[in-house]
Amino acid sequence: MVSSGINVDKQLSVRESVVLEASASEVWATIGLFGDMAWHPALASTEIVHGEEGQPGAMRVLTLKGGGTIHETLTAWDGQEMTLSYSITESVLPVSDYSATLSIQRDGSRSRVLWVSQFNRKPPSDDQAAIEAITGVFQSGLAQLKAVFR
């Protein structure tokens, strides 16, 4: 996995990627549904509460296994390019103004999953706490995908 946390003019960013031993279409079948994040180990459930699967404007609620929820809105979805973008509207995470894109790049018989986000810290958290929280979310999700697609 490759990761980085960057602070540029108070806008924070986390970028994580992983190469999987599966075709891009196999991976997209697992992660391309906005209403189904069963692949992420931190989540107890995902539910679309407004709109339709794959349609920008759809809203989902993620329920965390450890308690708490995250409310997200789908901002873009492209099945051909295998990319989806979303924003967080309400969360237990120490971030605000959060947007992210999850995409898959073909790499022969393998694929690369790239997860990139931009956000601000939510007071009273500091920048490092916000970066570490999002990095943890991304790394645990990508590690689970790596375990699934061996």
pLDDT of residue 10: 78
**pTM as predicted:** 0.91
d(CA 115, CA 83): 10
In the predicted model, is pLDDT for residue 8 greater than 50? no
Q: Which two tokens stand for residue 103?
A: 């995409």
Mean pLDDT of 49-74: 98
Residues 20/111, Cβ–Cβ less than 8 Å: yes
> What's residue 3's pLDDT?
56
Name the domain count of the chain: 1
User: Residue 55 sits in a domain of what CATH number?
Assistant: 3.30.530.20
Instruction: Burial-class residue 142 by CB neighbours within 10 Å (0-12, 13-18, 19+).
Output: buried
Residue type, 9: D
Q: What is the mean pLDDT of the chain?
A: 94
* Locus of tokens 């958290």: 125
The predicted pLDDT at position 150 comes to 86
Q: Tell me which residue range forms the domain holding 42.
A: 2-148
Percent of the chain at pLDDT > 70 equals 94
Calculate Rg over the CA atoms of the chain: 15
Sorted by sequence, the CB contacts under 8 Å of residue 89 that are 6+ apart come out as 59, 71, 72, 73
Q: Given a cut of 60, is residue 30 above it in pLDDT?
A: yes
Joined tokens for residue 142: 């990508």
pLDDT tens-place string over residues 93-144: 999 999 999 999 998 899 999 999 999 999 999 999 999 999 999 999 999 9
Tens of pLDDT, residues 43-58: 999 999 999 999 999 9
Q: What is the pLDDT of residue 2?
A: 56
